[in-house]
Amino acid sequence: MMHIGMTFVVRAAAERTIALCALVAASPLIAIAAAAVVLEDGLPVLFRQKRVGRGGRLFSILKLRTMRLRTTGASVTRSGDHRITRSGAILRRYKLDELPQLWNVCRGDMSLIGPRPEVPEFVDLSDPTWQAVLSARPGITDIATLIFRDEENLLSGAADPVRYYRETILPRKLAINLRYLRARSLTEDFRILLYTVLSSFFPRHFEFNVSAWESASSENA
């Protein structure tokens, strides 16, 4: 038990160190993106939103703002959403809007790799599946993010995007997260991080092999 606890502490410390170094390295890119946000739609640069973290604890997730000020709409975003700015579309395409979450990792709210945190309206803390998923610290990226990289396009074809997300996409994500947590390892996390970088820089040419991952995770479970 002590070994497991020590492993967790070392892992968390390593992640915070990596996140801090990555944040410093990415600061010029973040500065350029921030300038684009301000020039197109003014301040603020950052978007803050309450998400459900480990154990059901709420925290404020950070993103570069990609939507226009004083606009309202659904809690999910579909392709072509009128709220998204021109600079925001580019940031979302290459996942650059997620970079400020490195600070969430430094703070201990999130991990680099782990189930993506949801907004409270989609979370049922009394559900055993949710309890299992929330036993882990949420991450900047995960397998479900890679599999559903084109989520906005999927939602654009739904008559009711929120309902489609809640009833179709979210259950699939939860199942993927549970499978990931059962087979979680440093090697697997490194693969996810590598795939995330590839999909961010080469979104048109990257395709995640779902079948291969499911086969590998079944062997490791």
Kindly list the domain boundaries of the chain, sorted by start residue. 2-220
Contacts of 219 (CB under 8 A, 6+ apart): none
Percentage of the chain surpassing pLDDT 90? 72
Convert the pLDDT of each residue in 81-104 to its tens digit. Answer: 999 999 999 999 999 999 999 999
Confidence of residue 2 (pLDDT cuts 50, 70, 90): very low
CA 134/CA 62 separation, integer angstroms: 19
CA 48/CA 98 separation, integer angstroms: 11
Q: What pLDDT score does 124 carry?
A: 97
Convert the pLDDT of each residue in 125-146 to its tens digit. Answer: 999 999 999 999 999 999 999 9
CA 172/CA 170 separation, integer angstroms: 5
Q: Provide the 10 A C-beta neighbour count for residue 36.
A: 19
Q: Within 13 Å, how many C-alpha atoms sit on residue 200's CB side?
A: 17
Residue 60 and residue 95 in contact, taking contact as beta carbons nearer than 8 Å: no
Residue 163 and residue 171 in contact, taking contact as beta carbons nearer than 8 Å: no
CA 43/CA 70 separation, integer angstroms: 12
